[in-house]
Chain A
Amino acid sequence: MTETKKTKKTTSKKQKALEIEIEKLKEETDQLHLSAKRSQADLINLKRRTLEEIQINKRKTKIGLFSKFLNTLDELNMTKDSLPKDEAFKNWLTGIEMIIKKFETTLTNEGLTKIDPQKGEDFDPSIHESITTEETKTKKLDGKISHTFKSGYTIENTIIRPAQVILLKHINN
């Protein structure tokens, strides 16, 4: 009788130990499952973002390349603006204007949009960058754009560079 009791006791002890072991393993499995799921989710997210980033990087490469060309275009515009206004230079001016137009058409065909705010337009720092101010006596022009120093450009709603503008600042007489 005692023998049976003893055996029973040992069995139940073993059973308990096994149950604890099972519980522990279950917990471990759950954790591993969670970990694996998280890694998988990370991977899926990473893949999605990598694809997005490939697109972004392609655009960035384009932006990088165009920014360099834009400096040259600015300088062509400066050349145009610096030419003497007399008749002797008229054909030179026309020629340079033709080159600038050709350049700008190519940029437009490549998907670039020019930001070229005119005098009196509102200043919008999401597409414009103010570099200095000029005085005005007209109060309602205070804070408005005086003129564009360098045109800005966007591609697919991304700013390649903002338009650099000079703002008007009202002063009393």
Chain B
Amino acid sequence: MPKILGIDLGTTNSCMAIVEASEGEVLENSEGGRTTPSVIAINPKNNERYAGLIAKRQAVTNPENTIFSVKRFIGKKYKDTSLKDDLIMIPYKVNESKNGDISVHMAKKDYSPQEISSMILAKLKSDAESKLGEKITQAVITVPAYFNDSQRKATKDAGTIAGLDVLRIINEPTAAALAYGLDNKKTDQTIAVYDLGGGTFDITILHLGDGVFEVKSTNGDTHLGGDDFDQRIVSWLADEFKKENGIDLMKDTMAIQRLREAAEKAKIELSTVMESEINLPFITADASGPKHLVKSITRSQLENLIMDLIEQTIEPCKMALKDSKLQNSDINEIILVGGMTRMPAIQAAVEKFFNKESNKEVNPDEVVAIGAAIQAGVLQGDVQDVLLLDVTPLTLGIETLGGVSTPLIERNTTIPTQKTETFSTAQDNQPSVEIHVLQGERSMANENKTLGKFILDGIPPAQRGVPQVEVTFDIDANGILNVSAKDKGTGKEQKITITASSGLSNDEIEQMINDAESHAEEDEKKKKLIEIKNNADSVIYQADKLVEENKDKISEEIISKINDQKSSLQSSVESDDLEKIETELNAFQTILQEVGQSMYAQEGQPGPEATETPGDNNQPEEKTKRKSAKPKNKKKDDDVVDGKTKDK
């Protein structure tokens, strides 16, 4: 089924998204950007048309043929008095068309705002098609909540001209609420959407009841946006420089260019750090030589510079609340839209005004497009409950040697799913393994919940690590877990079926996750200790084997050295002291390396392999996943499997 494109057709920038597996996903444009400047231009020399970033790149030198902010004019009459401010600010010509609408003059021709918008939409459509490798014919486009019927109709027409069947025109704040899935909440809600974009500010109060969004009120400032904030920093830098050097950088186009780039960078940095350094060597020069600009700006300095701009957004918020006849306390959710809302001071001001935490998890530049895509998905039938997939709430795994819980399926994995891993035995001639199925986030088996146990026996006698036991966890769509263990040598298999996650309640699940978090460090320590003990045991085993097999080649003196160090290592293992075991183990491995080297020397061979310790050689058991070693303090009925040995 062809995809329906969700489009946020913005005043300064546009963004597009689709729904994939019920989730909104932004599509990049052909230049690799996630947003596209809403700019169209024509080169008057060759009549070549540019859209997006490329049009923006030539704007400075072709201002009269570069059309931006056309959204301000769409669906409006030339005589509309509200356009007075807009008309002053644009370097291109606008005229009155025959029907009284606005027409935009570009490269000796008049275009309707719909046509210009359609060129932006066509650019998005074509980029989406090349990205997806399929034709796009349908779209959902967003508009500001305050757009009237004629503006909405004109936007729809722009889509039609671009070759898009516009299935729905939705409000930008509604799209933002959809992106946060607020429509899925059961109760009625009042949502405030604060949208501070590149050049406009909108505040909208929405009411959501029975799945229907209703705009209660909307307010804003059509000439306030990110650029004003950048300009404040640029002016401040230029003023400071003038104070110190007596040179006005604002008269130097190149210097302004560098100041603007530095100001934007500092503004972005100050959203995450407290201080940023603006460092522009050779910014200008006078008779005395080159001049450099070095200036530190702290977050609070920046906030002082722009505080009045933030205040300017709060006033419309008050008005919107008043118009909706609501109080701050009536607002259930706040959504932040637009790149500027990443600024901590803005978030703080909005949260202070509404006295509530805001939703800011979804990228504020993309949230509207994602919401449009979700609306498209609903129309398409992609977003529906028929195939609502569940996830495993807790990690599932098995117990391995030393009581360690080894995870096979991590929590939050979408089901149905299957995972297979190969384990081995921990002792020579181990006849059987026990599969102890566990659920939980803790590192140690005894701290997790047991879901079931079974034994796979009949494993033919073999050295430890040689048998390969394949353990498979399979969870079906209903959450039923099938665990099977198969000895690859004999083909013998055992299995167990565990139903419905053993009925843990949500509270229990929450509790288990919290426990795991609070014990994470302690568990990690325990796990490390067991791992190193297992490792030590494995090295001792390999050393014994080495000595046994090469008795005649190793001198008595070395054998006694090996035995001495082995005893030290064994006693350190008893002590449960991680550092001590590590030291002793390293010392033991060094001795074994020396033994290896001397053996090769005796044979007159170069011995690069001699650097391999028995502990990390290439024995088959090491190829398989083996969290094992001989268990310490083995109890009478110690059934160890793939880890835990059962040697009876």
Chain B: minimal CB distance from A27 (Å):
13
Contacting pair B257 A164 (CB below 8 A): yes
CB contact between B387 and one of A35, A82, A126, A131 (< 8 Å): that residue? A35
For residue A21, CB closer than 8 A to chain B, the reply is no
CB contact between B60 and one of A38, A82, A132, A143 (< 8 Å): that residue? A132
Contacting pair B58 A125 (CB below 8 A): yes
For residue B20, CB closer than 8 A to chain A, the reply is yes
The residue among A39, A125, A128, A143 with the most chain B CB atoms within 10 A of its own CB is A125
Contacting pair B58 A123 (CB below 8 A): yes
Contacting pair B21 A35 (CB below 8 A): no
Q: Which 4 A-B pairs have the closest CB atoms?
A: A130-B61, A78-B282, A125-B58, A129-B57
CB contact between A82 and one of B20, B28, B282, B386 (< 8 Å): that residue? B282
Contacting pair B60 A75 (CB below 8 A): no
Contacting pair A128 B57 (CB below 8 A): yes
Contacting pair B254 A125 (CB below 8 A): no
For residue B177, CB closer than 8 A to chain A, the reply is no
| Beta-carbon contacts under 8 Å, B51-82 to A | 54-55, 57-62
Q: Which size bracket describes the interface of B in this complex?
A: 20 to 34
For residue B434, CB closer than 8 A to chain A, the reply is no
Chain B positions within 8 Å of A125 at CB level = 50, 54-55, 57-58
The total of chain A residues at the interface (CB under 8 A) is: 34
| Beta-carbon contacts under 8 Å, A122-160 to B | 123, 125-126, 128-133, 143, 149, 158-159
For residue A96, CB closer than 8 A to chain B, the reply is no
Q: List 17 A-B contacts (CB under 8 A).
A: A31-B386, A42-B21, A42-B382, A43-B21, A45-B20, A78-B282, A82-B282, A82-B285, A82-B289, A125-B55, A129-B57, A129-B58, A130-B58, A132-B61, A143-B45, A149-B257, A158-B32
Contacting pair B1 A130 (CB below 8 A): no
Q: Take A75-B281, A79-B282 as given contacts and tell me if A130 and B32 are in contact as well, using a CB distance cutoff of 8 Å.
A: no
For residue B311, CB closer than 8 A to chain A, the reply is no
Contacting pair B60 A130 (CB below 8 A): yes
Chain A: minimal CB distance from B57 (Å):
4
Contacting pair B32 A132 (CB below 8 A): no
For residue B605, CB closer than 8 A to chain A, the reply is no
For residue A18, CB closer than 8 A to chain B, the reply is no
Chain B: minimal CB distance from A150 (Å):
9
- Nearest B residue to A165 via CB reads B61
Contacting pair B21 A39 (CB below 8 A): yes
Chain B positions within 8 Å of A22 at CB level = none
For residue B31, CB closer than 8 A to chain A, the reply is yes
The residue among B61, B290, B387 with the most chain A CB atoms within 10 A of its own CB is B61
Chain A positions within 8 Å of B285 at CB level = 82
Q: Take A75-B282, A132-B61, A133-B61 as given contacts and tell me if A126 and B54 are in contact as well, using a CB distance cutoff of 8 Å.
A: yes
Instruction: Give me 9 other A-B pairs in contact (C-beta within 8 A), A79-B281, A158-B32 excluded.
Output: A35-B387, A46-B20, A56-B28, A123-B61, A125-B57, A128-B58, A130-B57, A132-B254, A143-B61
A71–B621 Cα distance when bound, in Å, is 53
For residue B253, CB closer than 8 A to chain A, the reply is yes
Contacting pair A46 B21 (CB below 8 A): yes
Chain B positions within 8 Å of A78 at CB level = 281-282
For residue A112, CB closer than 8 A to chain B, the reply is no
Chain A: minimal CB distance from B240 (Å):
20
| Beta-carbon contacts under 8 Å, B251-306 to A | 253-254, 257, 281-282, 285, 289-290
Contacting pair A38 B382 (CB below 8 A): yes
Contact with B along A78-111 (1 / 0, CB 8 A): 1101100000000000000000000000000000
CB contact between A56 and one of B32, B57, B282 (< 8 Å): that residue? B32
Contact with A along B22-36 (1 / 0, CB 8 A): 000000100110000
A132–B254 Cα distance when bound, in Å, is 8
Contact with B along A37-49 (1 / 0, CB 8 A): 0110011011000
A35–B387 Cα distance when bound, in Å, is 7
Contacting pair B254 A82 (CB below 8 A): no
A31–B387 Cα distance when bound, in Å, is 11
A164–B253 Cα distance when bound, in Å, is 12
A75–B59 Cα distance when bound, in Å, is 26
- Nearest B residue to A168 via CB reads B61
A13–B103 Cα distance when bound, in Å, is 70
Chain A positions within 8 Å of B50 at CB level = 125
Chain B positions within 8 Å of A75 at CB level = 281-282
Contacting pair B282 A60 (CB below 8 A): no
- Nearest B residue to A128 via CB reads B57
Q: Take A78-B282, A82-B285, A125-B55 as given contacts and tell me if A159 and B21 are in contact as well, using a CB distance cutoff of 8 Å.
A: no
